[in-house]
Amino acid sequence: MPTLEERAQAIRLVCTDVDGVLTNGLLHFHGDGTHTKSFHVRDGAATVYLQRCGIKVAFISGLDSPSTWARAKHLGVADCFAGNLAKGPILEQLCAKHGLRLDQVAHLGDDLPDLPILRQVGLACCPQDAVDEVKNVCHFMVELKGGEGVLRPVAELILKAQGLWDRVLESY
């Protein structure tokens, strides 16, 4: 059984759910029926760090939301899938597109629709407020709740395991 560090060393793609992971899961509805959500700036930085170091990032969300698409565009995340509760086929598509094996993929999720991916990937991660079924299949639980910068510790784990963290620090 590989260690957490060995799992992190193999990662070439980080997939993440959005609502309840990159956000706190709350939707703020306006009178016209539109909604907004908040994203943590540290997750944005983590996305940029991963991409600059050659690790791809994908957003896979069950909720189709203009906020998700806008955040992905702002961060340069080309692989954004919003409005997809069947996440397993998306994982297959991403692996085929990027020529990756499942053990080269990390996924960060918090709820039942994430289970099919979390059970397959090389590094399964979740926030501390994920549902128990998700916690039970994850290799790494971040000690933060969804929306509190959960992707950042996952990115640091991967980049440090691969000896790439110093490259991030050099730009500061």
Three-state DSSP string of the chain: CCCHHHHHHCCCEEEECCCCCCCCCCCEECCCCCEECCCCHHHHHHHHHHHHCCCEEEEEECCCCHHHHHHHHHHCCCEEEECCCCHHHHHHHHHHHHCCCHHHEEEECCCHHHHHHHCCCCEEEEECCCCHHHHCCCCEEECCCCCCCCHHHHHHHHHHHCCCHHHHHHCC
d(CA 37, CA 135): 24
> Is pLDDT above 80 for 26?
no
* Whole-number pLDDT of residue 155: 98
pLDDT band at 165 (very low <50, low <70, confident <90, very high): very high
pLDDT band at 154 (very low <50, low <70, confident <90, very high): very high
Tokens of 144: 């933060």
Give 29-54 pLDDT, tens digit per residue: 888 887 788 899 999 999 999 999 99
What is the residue extent of each domain of the chain? 4-161
Strand partners, 56: 13
107 φ/ψ angles, rounded to the nearest 5 degrees: -135, 140
Give 118-138 pLDDT, tens digit per residue: 999 999 999 999 999 999 999
Closest CA to 167 of 57, 52, 76: 52
Class of domain 4-161: alpha beta
The pTM of this model reads 0.95
Give 45-102 pLDDT, tens digit per residue: 999 999 999 999 999 999 998 999 999 999 999 999 999 788 999 999 999 999 999 9
> Is pLDDT above 90 for 171?
no
